[in-house]
């Protein structure tokens, strides 16, 4: 079914992105970016990701040392990490948020945009409030949006001028450089579409891992047994620190189970993604839905429902372990795993799922392997249960070095 247009903020240049395009346009754009998120691409991008993980750990050490109480806002720096990684992979250069004592406002602007989209989706159906709200927001944020758009467009231009940098410096643009053209009805992607998608991918890529990483750390500190098991798995698997890398995370089943359980109990997108029922109507889940209706799957509800999962509100990574694993628990044998869809479902599911999983796992296990001060392990918990405002998760996770 087609996406509900009221749920989407129109691109500034009129060109569609992976998140707004429909039909053949969506298929074409998705096909052009497919190789940017493949296993091969992830292997080639892993050095870039690992470099920023090292910068994160260095920054956290500096921040705890200079803090009067030895505490830092971990969620904030996960945001800096995610933004720097995705900016580097999309633009060929990061925003340098982790280096030195740098601060930047991009992360705040990105989350503000997500909140605006959620509010706009609700108000759009109540005339004339949608006109008033839209005009007010666009007027108040015009300068910021124009600056962000110009910065993103200029960086895309700089990245294209670099050309193909080879496997040693592969990024999201590398597979599509030869496909950028302005021909009508072609198989490639236009420059305007590249600009729109560049900004959209950085925004989405920044938000999802920031939320997932902060939440994973929250649950690991809330459940010491899980933290202990994960730490033992990581440290028993690696005999030398130099062997720790993003690619090797697939060899750690408990680490992957922790990431999956985090995404299950705390869905990255806690609101449903609305779809329009066609004019002739349609049968959905055995029920007839009239044409013109707006429907969606409430994945946060589905993934935490007792109808689908045993003890759904409790953090149990064991539910995602294979049967042959020593920690496999038969209590979770009846879980309806098909209800676990953290990156949407169907042809519009998130292309970057693989990269987000591996990148998140890499950050989690690198922190446990490399932090000899146990910066991420012995942390004080100053966080209420994660809450959501207007469809965007809010976090306030702070850590203290001991």
pLDDT of residue 371: 44
pLDDT at 355: 56
- Structural domain boundaries, residue 97: 2-400
Share of the chain above pLDDT 90, in %: 31
How far is it, in rounded angstroms, from Cα 101 to Cα 241?
A: 26
H/E stretch holding 394: strand 392-394
For residue 384, pLDDT over 60 is answered with no
Question: For 117-126, which contacts have Cβ atoms below 8 Å and span 24 or more sequence positions?
Answer: 117/7, 117/8, 117/9, 118/271, 118/390, 118/391, 118/392, 119/390, 120/6, 120/9, 121/4, 121/6, 121/7, 121/274, 124/6, 125/6
Structurally, the chain folds into a number of domains equal to: 1
**For residue 333, is pLDDT > 90?**
yes
**CATH for 92:** 1.10.630.10
- Mean of the pLDDT values across residues 41-64? 88
Task: Summarize pLDDT for 197-209 with one digit per residue, the tens.
Answer: 998 888 888 878 8
**pLDDT at residue 187, rounded to an integer:** 86
């Amino acid at each position: 079914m087609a996406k509900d247009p009221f749920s989407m903020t129109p691109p500034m240049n009129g060109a569609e992105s992976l998140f707004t395009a429909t039909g053949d346009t969506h298929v074409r754009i998705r096909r052009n970016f497919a190789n940017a998120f493949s296993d091969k691409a992830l292997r080639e991008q892993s050095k870039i990701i690992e470099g920023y993980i090292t910068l994160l750990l260095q920054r956290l050490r500096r921040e705890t040392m200079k803090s009067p109480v030895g505490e830092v806002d971990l969620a904030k720096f996960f945001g800096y990490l995610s933004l720097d990684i995705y900016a580097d992979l999309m633009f060929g250069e990061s925003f340098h948020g982790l280096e030195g004592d740098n601060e930047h406002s991009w992360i705040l602007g990105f989350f503000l945009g997500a909140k605006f989209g959620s509010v706009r989706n609700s108000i759009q159906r109540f005339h004339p409030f949608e006109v008033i709200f839209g005009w007010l927001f666009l007027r108040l944020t015009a300068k910021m949006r124009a600056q962000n758009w110009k910065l993103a467009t200029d960086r895309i231009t700089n990245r294209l001028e670099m050309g193909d940098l080879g496997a040693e410096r592969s990024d999201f643009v590398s597979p599509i450089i030869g496909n950028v053209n302005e021909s009508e009805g072609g198989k490639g992607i236009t420059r305007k579409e590249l600009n729109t998608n560049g900004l959209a991918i950085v925004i989405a890529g920044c938000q999802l891992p920031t939320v997932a990483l902060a939440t994973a750390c929250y649950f690991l500190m809330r459940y010491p047994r899980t933290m202990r098991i994960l730490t033992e798995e990581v440290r028993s698997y690696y005999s030398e620190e130099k062997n720790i890398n993003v690619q090797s995370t697939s060899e750690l089943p408990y680490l992957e189970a922790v990431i999956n359980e985090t995404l299950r109990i705390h869905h990255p997108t806690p609101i449903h993604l609305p779809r329009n029922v066609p004019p002739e109507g349609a049968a959905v889940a055995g029920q007839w839905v009239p044409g013109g209706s707006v429907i969606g799957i409430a994945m946060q509800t589905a993934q935490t429902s007792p109808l689908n999962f045993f003890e759904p509100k409790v953090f149990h990574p064991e539910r995602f372990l294979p049967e042959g694993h020593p920690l496999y628990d038969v209590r979770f044998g009846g879980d309806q795993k098909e209800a676990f869809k953290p990156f949407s479902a169907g042809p519009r599911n998130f292309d970057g799922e693989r990269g987000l999983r591996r990148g998140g796992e890499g950050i989690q296990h690198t922190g446990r392997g490399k932090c000899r001060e146990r910066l991420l392990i012995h942390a004080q918990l100053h966080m209420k249960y994660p809450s959501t405002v207007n469809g965007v998760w809010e976090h306030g996770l702070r850590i203290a070095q001991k």
